Structure 1
């Protein structure tokens, strides 16, 4: 099946999506993200590797900007980097099994995979960037919460 050629829509709402968020909205998102990070580190600093730490910075930037699809992708990527570090260090146990096989983490991995790898059904179309922003944001917030839950274990 031949794919349609990309045509930039003239929908004014796409222009709004592409605009930088207001400073106040950026700050609200930054506070929300920081609270999750603070909660995860309440028992002590979060021990993550350099790559996961660097990706976490981009995750926070994407979250504050409202790049919801990127947030889901990056959250799973940070989790993957952290898991690789833990496994290389010989870590194991129930916590890692929950991250590998827990219902919520399977949702996150499947959601990221659907967004990144188009296999049959299209998980994301340009119209979703405007028509389903609320759902994309909910998914992004859920992804961040799951990531920090995993990092505090």
Structure 2
């Protein structure tokens, strides 16, 4: 598949199936407190994942997790993202995700994280990172089931 083509239907369905399986595994409770805002972002994130927009997934994941935890756990709009994630995210490697996202968002002119050729050549690694980010996001959305 050429990078700028639509995702093949089989590829889309394979990615959709992976998401459905991850969501099914995460839903262990009967009731969850959800943030309407983060749910909306997450729905768009799923479309990006199935499309293969890997950088977008990593960037969006921190926003979805931040928004969800801010509204459902911290109940605090002023807490800084790094502190929020450290205090309320119950999974592992949240610093990896935040640092990866920051490398994509904040360009360092002296030491670029990636260049166009790297982006073309590293789609497989970008997909792995995006899949990990997606799993972490799902974990955050379902980390505290109710009764």
Contact 1:40 1:46 in 2 (8 A): no
Q: Spell out the pairing of 1:48-67 with structure 2 (5 A cutoff).
A: 48-67=34-53
Report the secondary structure of 1:17's partner residue. Answer: coil
Matched, 1:22 2:8: yes
- Deviating beyond 3 angstroms after TM superposition, the runs of 4 or more aligned structure 1 residues are none
Q: Could you tell which deviates more after superposition, 80-89 or 38-47?
A: 38-47
What TM-score, normalized by structure 2, do the two folds share?
Answer: 0.81
Identify unmatched segments of 5+ residues in structure 1.
1-12, 90-94
What residue in structure 1 maps to residue 100 of structure 2? 111
Q: Is the 8 A contact 1:76 1:108 kept in 2?
A: yes
CA contact (8 A) 2:69 2:88 kept: no
> Alignment partner of 1:124: what SS?
coil
1:99 equivalent to 2:86? Answer no
Verify the 8 A CA contact 1:17 1:129 in the aligned structure 2: no
Q: What is the alpha-carbon root mean square deviation over aligned residues?
A: 2.2
Verify the 8 A CA contact 1:26 1:64 in the aligned structure 2. yes
Larger-gyration structure (1/2): 1
Name the TM-score, length of structure 1 as normaliser.
0.78
Q: Work out the CA distance in 2 between the residues paired with 1:20 and 1:38.
A: 27
In 2 relative to 1, CA 37–131 (structure 1 residues): closer, same or farther, beyond 3 Å? same
Matched length: 133
SS of the residue corresponding to residue 108 of structure 1 reads helix
Instruction: Give the Cα separation in 2 of the matches to 1:45 and 1:22.
Output: 35
Note the C-alpha offset of 1:129: 2.5
